[in-house]
Amino acid sequence: RLLPRLIKRLSKNPPSLSPERDALQAKFTKTSKSLYKPLPPRFSVDPAHHAVSPMLADYSPFTHKSDFVRHKRLPPVPRLSRRRNIKRDTSVDPPREMTREERDWFASPYLRMLASPLRKCAVTGRYMPSDFLIRLLPMKLPASRASHIRAIIVPDGLQHPKFESKRRGKAGYITCWAEVLAQAPQRGTAGKIMHGGGMVSPVLLEQTLHLLRVRVLQELEVLRLALEREHPKRREGCTSPIVRRLTRAELACIRESDTIPHTDAIAVLMCPPVNRNPSTCTRPEGDMSASPPSAPDVTTKPPRPPPPHSTLHSVAPIEPTLEGVEPHAPHLIPLYHSLALFPHPAHRRKLHELLSAIIAHERTIRSPTDASPVEVDSKQRKASHAYLVTSNAETVSRGVDVAALGIALWRLRMLSG
């Protein structure tokens, strides 16, 4: 029974005279990972179309079940790599590049968040996209502890995969909202995630906020590294820089009109440089480590109350509609204040450093608004502390993911309130 199958296999793949060469070629040849294959014609269950029962037919979904299984095609990528050695001779699902419309969808952080997998919140019991939830995982405590608690529930998977990957294990999810996280210890969240002695971390909200702030800095660091490795030819034809500083006149226009007239913008960051310490006359060092920072100095009081974490501004003025006609939801762009989102000076210093480094790479790109003459005085043409972040089909074609930064900022906004 075994020999006929071996002979059949050897006839399809005869042994090579140089197995070392075949092993080396197979190592550097990347084949498609797609399971897609064309489906056979739709099988009819009408008895008039069959001489015998479909269960006894030579070719049917009952006798050849695997041939009728549907598989998805590989998703298109933003930009195909021309140097990859992909086996295309027998592939029925070759790699595809995104179209202009697909790149517009990929550049939207809100569509990306809505397209994330659905998960169930352990507190509210509702199914939501996973980007609107916080992943929780039990972490074992040392066995030498006298307490009966064996594990503690902590947030997981909040950092960028290049810095720290997700831990394996049965995880739970909770809505990314401060009020919901505050109810986690009282609603029996630990029992829904793990069985046995376990408890939710008493500093779950503070720990999650810190990791979400670190995620924003990590996304900026990944974006900076991608721009450093970018080939200059990819910038040819680009008219919108990824990050640029707004002028004082543009910032004053935003404050007066309450609008951000940039349709491709995903965020505006207010990030002034960190002041020097009065006692040491030095600025703090930038920090983006996952470990919690030291407590700030409580003796120094801020000169004024901090601004709100973020405000939403429409792209154009909202026009009045007819009575009885429901208006369309306006296109809103968030304006973030770093002083409220990043209360620790070391985080704000790192945020300012990363934004300045990205702008240094984007100075070769000038938008049409920058090239047009603006009749304002020299003071109004100076750069402000507002940074405009743009994500559109052009930025996706350059091979950088700016929408991930918008997702990280929005998740931090959801939890900060």
> SS3 sequence, 46-93?
CHHHCCCCHHHCCCCCCCCHHHHCCCCCCCCECCCCCCCCECCCCCCC
What is the C-alpha to C-alpha distance for residues 36 and 346, in angstroms, rounded to an integer? 49
pLDDT at 147: 66
What is the C-alpha to C-alpha distance for residues 353 and 273, in angstroms, rounded to an integer? 9
Beta bridge partners of 216: none
pLDDT at 295: 63
pLDDT at 298: 45
pLDDT digits (tens, 9 = 90+) for 211-225: 999 999 999 999 999
pLDDT at position 387 over 80: yes
What is the C-alpha to C-alpha distance for residues 246 and 359, in angstroms, rounded to an integer? 12
Q: At 116, phi and psi to the nearest 5?
A: -70, 155
Banded model confidence at residue 372, pLDDT cuts 50, 70, 90:
very low
Domain ranges of the chain: 44-98, 109-202, 212-288+307-318+329-367+378-416
Mean pLDDT calculated for residue range 271-280: 84
Strand (E) or helix (H) holding 98: none
What is the C-alpha to C-alpha distance for residues 289 and 185, in angstroms, rounded to an integer? 27
**Are 120 and 127 a contacting pair, CB within 8 Å?**
yes
Quick one: fold of 109-202?
Hypothetical Cytosolic Protein; Chain: A; (3.30.1230)
pTM of the shown model = 0.80
pLDDT digits (tens, 9 = 90+) for 397-408: 888 999 999 999
Mean pLDDT calculated for residue range 317-337: 78
Strand (E) or helix (H) holding 171: none
Looking from the CA of 62 toward its CB, the CA atoms found within 13 Å total 8
Question: What SS3 state is found at 415?
Answer: helix
